[in-house]
Each structure stands twice: as structure tokens, then as C-alpha cells.
A and B are shown apart, each in its own frame.
Chain A
Amino acid sequence: MHFVVLTELGTVVLEGGKVVKSFAFEQPAADFVKAKSGQYDHDDLISFLRGMNAGFLLNDDSFLKTLKKESLDVHHMDEKQMDEIQATKPQLLVDAGFAKNESDAMAKLRDFALQLSSARVTEISQSPDLHISQSIKALDEMDVMINGLSSRLREWYGLHFPELDNIIDSINGYAQIVMAGKREDLSTKVYEDAGFPESKVQMLSVIQEKSKGGEISKENLAIVQSIANQILEMAKMRKRIEDHIETEMNTIAPNVAAILGTAVGARILAKSGSLKKMATLPASTIQVLGAEKALFRALKTGTQPPKHGILFQHPLVHAAPRWQRGKMARAIASKAAIAARVDVYGAGLNQTLLEKLNVRVAEIGEKYKEAPERPPQPQIMERRRDDFRRRDNFRSRDGKTHDSFRPRQSFRSRDDRLRDDRPRDGFRPRENFRSRDDRPQGEFRQNEGFRPREDRPRDGFKSRGDSRPRDGYRPRGESGSGGPRREFRGDGNKRKKFGRKRF
């Protein structure tokens, strides 16, 4: 029997442990990959083997398949023979003439590994879905920055013209007014240029006259104006990123985009790691992606599992009445899972997916029109003060929306449908702004410190490697993450009441 061995550096034909013939790869890393995937041209080897007219034992499955197609008498060698080749590989490479001596062979093998590994990194880094996930993360970070700077701008310019804050919702308009300069420099033209309707322009002109604000020095105004300028620039940038995500999603994952919308789709894609990984996820995982905290709490303590994670931002889930949301999320998640698979392995936009989803959505709306009666809430007799579960009870037990999934107002702007009937600039919810500086300072820090360690999303759930915390990204919708999101969550009262009880 003859052995035919596929090595990293070439193919070798052995007879009784002696090398009969060897064929070196020209570019080891690239050629080896081709050989493994059955695309390498083994012409020389094949004609040589034909001439021998004997049976051959091979060491590799895909290599075996390639040669079998050439109707050669080939079989897989047994484990013992494989082990032997594996153990003497450096020597084999020397005998085959691929290397000068054993240490040269080892160095060549290492070079090969470096090349191949680098090539794989390059290949994976090129995939367009990684760029989508970077884009959506950039978009979210943009939002945080715009939110923070906007509130600062309103506070600061508010010293000079406090009334403006209450009248103007859109931060774009506000920033444009600030750019015009001091209160007394503001003319109706400024307001009109900023795109306000007639009625508002008149109101502004009146209020401007009797403002309670103090004087602002030239130096201060200059800084405030440069902040305003930054905000306007960032808003432009944000729009650009948003458009970019939309076009990218529609070309790379048209089905996911159709089912989930571009922004939500991109977020789920980013969370899963890549489109391929998303295609391997079960629908149930997609449904709760982004709600790891609640999910693991449910697994651990037996409370109600989350109904939706990132999916809550989907307009269908979001707009549905409370008792329908879980069903909606499940229906959407199942179609999204299929959509991801179509995007990876199929081609083009599949219309039936969306149609079927719409049928199901209509069915849910029809079937569960009325709110179900809720069973009486279980009373918890003993409550320890330091029990972290306790602070979560109020959300999951009363059936209300989980606090962690409350959408920021700004989500709305990302969806076209909602934006149409809500013509406001969506960087932030208005109401919370004012309370920002009134908030007790300590509360923030305590929130961060309170998070018990084992309550973080687990290694096992995270998509492997790619979502390490080093990039500083925290999934939206995770409460207790302490980041700047918290203050925009909108229900200031609840939080304060709660805070007092707790700390």
C-alpha cells in the first residue's frame, strides 16, 4: 500500500515509509486552503498516481474526495498511521525535500501557521457585516454624545435665555438659534431660517423681549456657540451614518432589513457578532438578544423570562399593547431567524416572509384584542434589604414593561413610520432634560456599584470573542449599566421614589 499525505507544504507519496515522490506547494498557505476546500489542482500528483496503478491511503477527507473523483483507488488511513505521520511530520517534510533539516521544517511550519492565520484574519475583517455592526455602534455612541452636549447647551444658554428651552423641542433648531448669538441679536429671520412656523416665531419674538435671563459675556457665548456648532455637525454626521446603515443593510441583509427594519436589524446583527452567526441562532435567542440580564435572572431565580430584548425597539412590538408584545416579539424573531438564513445562504429579497409575518401580526391583533385578566400577584413575605432581586420585582411581577426595555424616545426617530407622525427631532426626550442637574449626585455612583457581579452577561452567551467589553460597548436596554443612558430613561419619578427606598 502507498501513502499519499497532504502536508502544509505540499503532497508526499510514501511507500514503506520512504518518500517516492513529492509535490511542493508554490504558495503553501493559499494552496493548502485550496486543497482543503477541494479547489487545488493536483494534476501532477494525479498523473503520477495513475502511472503507479495501485491502491493509496490518504490522511485527509477533502483530499480523499478530490482524488476519488479522479477514480483512483483511494481510502482513508487508520488512526495509528495518522498518528505516526503526525508525530514525524518535521522529518517527513525534510525527506520530501520541502525543508533542509528538522528545525528548518519547524520554522517553515510556523511561518505557514502565521501566514494562514493572518490570511484568515484579513478575510474575516473584510466581511461587510462587521462594518455594519461598527456603524450601528458608532450611531449609538453619537446619540450619547449628542444627548449629553445638547443638555449642556440648554443649561448653559438657558442662563441667558431660559424661556427658549421650553418652547423649542428640536435640538437642531435650538442650536441654530444659539449660533445666531445673544438674545437681543435674535431676529424673526433667525427663527424663520431655523425652520419654525409663523406662530412660533411670533411667540419667540414676544418672549425674547421680556426674558428673565441674565447677560452673557462674549467669551462665554463663544464657547456656547462652539458647542452648538459641534451639535449641528454631529447631527449631520449621525444622519450620514444612519443613511449608510440603511443602504448597507439593504444590500447585505435585505431580508433581515425587511423584517426588522434597518436600525433594529443592524443592532441584532451587531449583537450576534456577524450575519453568519445570526443565521445560526435560534429564533428564541434572537427574541431575547439584548435582554441577557433579565434572561439569566429568570434562569437563576425562576422569575418571568424576558419577552423581548433589542426587539422591543421594533415598531410592531413597541406599538402593540402590553399583552401582545411577547407574541409579537416571538413572531418577528422567528421570521428574523429565517430571514438571516436566507440572507446568508439564499439570494435576494423573499417577499413571502414579510407577508406571512403580517398575516400573523394581524392574527395576534385580532385574537388578543382584550387585555387578559391578570392573576393575583404573589406576595413576597420576606424581603432582605440587600437582595438584589428585590429591586427588579416591581417590573417583572406587575406585568409592566421592563424598565430596562423602555425605549428611549430617540428610538422613534429611527423608524420612518413613527417619525412621520411625530415630527420632532429625536435626539432626546424633552422632559428629562431639566431634571438633569437636580439629580442627587450620589445616586449615579451607587447604581453602578450595586450591580452584583454574577449578574453580568455571561461569557457563554456572548458571541465568542468578538464582543469583548474592550470596545466599551454596552448593549442598550441593560439596566444598571450605569452609563449615561440612565438619565434619559424618562421616568424620573419612579426612579427617585425607588432610589429613596433602596438607599
Chain B
Amino acid sequence: MKSQIKILCYCTLAFALAGCAPSASTRPDTKGGAGSTPGAAGSGTDSRAGEGGRGGARESDTGASSLKQLQEGKSPITPGSSPLKDVYFDFDRYDLSADARTVLRANADWLKANSGARVEIEGHCDERGTNEYNLALGAKRAQAAREYLTSLGVAAGRLSTISYGEEIPVCKEQTDACWRQNRRARLVILQDRPTS
């Protein structure tokens, strides 16, 4: 699976912390210290958080919230360069598969290394079934991801959840492949919170 390769790739990079952005030339100041203004590294959307969470983890690293993307007419897709990867679920399920746990462990590592980042976990569903049930199911998916991340040592206070049910799909065709992409928990960096 392509996503698994990406995950492995990411893990390696996360540990090495060589800056996992495709364009490593814009690595931000990782030693900026407490006073550094988050996001001061110009307009670079691929600026990356530095070790220890003192750099600015940015909303643009993960893409904005799916609602904001919808409002701006953009796809709520998580960019391939995002340090926080989507996790996927089976139809009408909210338990975490082995794959999902692998992805979340990598996400947890990044979150622990970037302790300034506050993250909203979005629960999404495919279009099948009724809207309200899917809102509840999406909430379960987001919560399952949140609980696993906290069990791995990420502070619960940094993780909020929201469910968009089937309302903001990333793929709109009526195919199994498309539905699979929509049954996800997506992690979005809410804002910079530099350690002081």
C-alpha cells in the first residue's frame, strides 16, 4: 500500500528529524527560542516544526480544518507533506486497525516532538447511511484516535475532536475506493502555541 510506504518513510524522517518536507531548503529556525514568532518563516507553506516544539507547527502543515477548506472551495485533503497522517476505518466501524495504530504511533511521535502543536481530530464517514448516524460514527472515530494518542503519551489537552460525518468528503464518487478514502480520522493543527 502506498500509504504504508509513506508512513514508513515518514517514521524514518520523524526520528531522524532531518526535516521531512519535500523541499528541505526552507527549514525554519529550529532554535528560535521562546520569543520567535510562529510562522515568521515567511510565507512558506512547507515550513516545518522544529524539534522540541519550539518552532511553529502550522495549520498549513496539515491543511486547514475541513470546514474551512469547504468554505474556501478547497478539497479537505491532507497534503502528502503533512507530518500527521489520516487513519482509515471499515464501514460502520470505529475500532482501530493495525494499520491505523501504526499511523497513529507515528503521529504520536511527531506530536511528542512538537509539543506546541494543538490538534483537532476530525472524524469522517462515507456517504452511505444516514447523516445523523454518520455524525455520531465520525465522533466515535475521532474519539478512538484521540484515546489511542493519549494512551501513547500525548497530552489529552492538546487534542480536541469534531465530527463532520459524511458532510465533507474528500472523494465524491460512488465507489468502494472512494468510500474508503472518506472513512477517516484527519488530524489538523489548530494553531501555533509556542512553548514559553
- Pairing of A with B: no
Footprint of B on A, CB under 8 Å?
Answer: none
